[in-house]
Amino acid sequence: MQLETMATTLECDLTVTTKPTAPIAGQAPGTSGLRKKTKQFMDGNYLANYVQSVLNTLLEENVPVSGGTLVVSGDGRFWNPEAIQIIIKMAFAAGVGTVWCGKDGLLSTPATSAIIRCRGAGFIPFGGFICSASHNPGGINDDFGIKYNCENGGPAPEKMTNKMVEWTGKVTELKFCDGIPDIDLSKPAVYKLGDKTVEVFDCVEDHMAILQKCFSFDDMRKLIARDDFTLTYDCMSGCQGPYARGIIETALGAAAGSCKNADPKPDFGGPESAWHGHADPNLTYAVELVKDMGLNKEGQKIATDKPPPSFGAAADGDADRNMILSSQFFVSPSDSLAFIVANADLIPQFKDGLKGCARSMPTSGALDIVAKAKGLPFFEVPTGWKFFGNLMDSGTSYYPDKPVYTPFICGEESFGTGADHVREKDGMWAVLAWLQILAKKTEAAGKLVSCEDVANEHWKTYGRNYYARYDYEGVDKPKAEEMMKMMAAKAGTLVGQEFGGMKMATNDMFEYLDPVDGSVSKNQGIRFIFEDNSRIIFRLSGTGVAGATVRLYLEKYTAPTGDLSLHQFDVVKPLAELAFDLSNLKEYTGRDAPTVIT
């Protein structure tokens, strides 16, 4: 590395100290790592127990920990700095030779994946710890999280996380290099501690380098330079700020201030912010952006003091999610995925064509229609980016006897979109994919083309999947589980019956057989699918901390010859009423209305 010549030697004692501990219940990670209240992580050995369990698993699985390189950073939320220093001391005690950290301990989740895969010669680290609870609020009274990503840059697979959980149930000792001082992460530097090294580097450069290989920055600069094009990118005080400024403003030439709320804060803006510190890019929480773009939280047009920008986007706390809008128009995440795949030929990354695409099961079937029309291999997977990762790694050294599906695009209805350049969803990639598509379509049309124009063109070709998600946050978990169990018990018994004038084609609990590694994932959500392709889906979220979050997904397909101009939330309301009858949701949860509609 270039910083090697500027190394600073830190004299310290590298003696490994062993401390007794006892297992702590409830350390099984969800779909995106272990998430709990910040105070719980700060209490006693809670963080250390989990980190030690991960390290023990890696050693047991013969991962090259000894002398190896480990990435340790996070999304900048409260207690990140302290957690990173603890992990560094434990990593060196486990035999790690080098730790890589982003400046200020800051790395977005997709950037962490990019660094594991591409920094230096590429695939140098054996993995990385990401201190993040993604879109969950940050602060001492809110949420903290941690997850481990493997040497491919993607989340640890279930077979490995299961072993980590086993270790949390039997861990009895913790190992630290207590003699190591806290490392200064405030500036790029290399620190030598005996035979150990800590390298601190700019958090943006590696992610931007890989994105420059995916897109034409020249095309996007021309679009952004147009007098009739304006944009705004709301970083919601999460860790996307440095990336947005470095890429959107500096590299692409957007006006200074185009990226708003771009200073990362440990509480993501906190209770005093318009979004109350909930850095989640959707119509409910991204209130400043939604208002700026001339919409309300239902996605309906409102009057504005000045013309809304041509293009708007938002990011979440760890920058893996995205929301896309144009002037007084909201692009649903399910549609966004389908639109990008339909226009992939305009993106340099896919100049030789796509070889595969996938969506999570709750995501609308808009992608399915595009994949079928284009003859692309298509997959429907459970919620969780690790399932996409297996498909992207198919045909590589990990699974050499399996088909190759890359170049590959995938996404989830929960505002996550990405491709095979990394093994995480990538909010910046999604924004640049849209800017690339708009740039090429604008160039071809000889006039500015908007996201709304792209949507209308798409629907006239493929039809429209009217779609909405209702979230019921913080409900009583036993009651929510009881509701899911009741619906699961009816699997298959409703087929052929009519509900609201629609005949039931499928009612089941979704189960996934991974075509790459052969693993089976059960209990992945309740499905009610009708013969006209309308769908009602129920899931319990795996990313919450307090209580349970019930997610209800509603979808109604309209052919190209039908009415494509209706508001999606209005179209699916009759399905919502039917869903309440099928689930008895109001009785089980005590809720008359959802917390969030997206």
Provide the annotated active-site residues. 134
| Residue 141 one-letter amino acid | N
Residue 2 is given by DSSP the state G
Backbone angles phi, psi at 245, to 5 degrees: -65, -45
How wide is the angle at C-alpha 539 spanned by C-alphas 537 and 542, nearest 5°? Answer: 150
- Asked if the bond preceding 20 is cis, omega within 30° of 0, the reply is no
Check: CB of residue 514 under 8 Å from CB of residue 153.
no
**Under DSSP, is residue 133 helix (H, G, I), strand (E, B) or coil?**
coil
Rounded to an integer, what distance in angstroms lies between the CA atom of residue 377 and that of residue 439? 28
How wide is the angle at C-alpha 261 spanned by C-alphas 258 and 267, nearest 5°? Answer: 165
Backbone angles phi, psi at 427, to 5 degrees: -60, -40
- Own/partner pairs, 388-393, CB within 8 angstroms, 24+ separation: 388/358, 388/418, 388/423, 389/152, 389/154, 389/155, 389/157, 389/423, 390/157, 390/514, 390/516, 390/517, 391/356, 391/358, 391/515, 391/516, 392/154, 392/420, 392/423, 393/152, 393/154, 393/423, 393/516
Structure-token pair, residue 298 = 């239902």
| Residue 431 one-letter amino acid | V
How wide is the angle at C-alpha 540 spanned by C-alphas 539 and 543, nearest 5°? Answer: 120
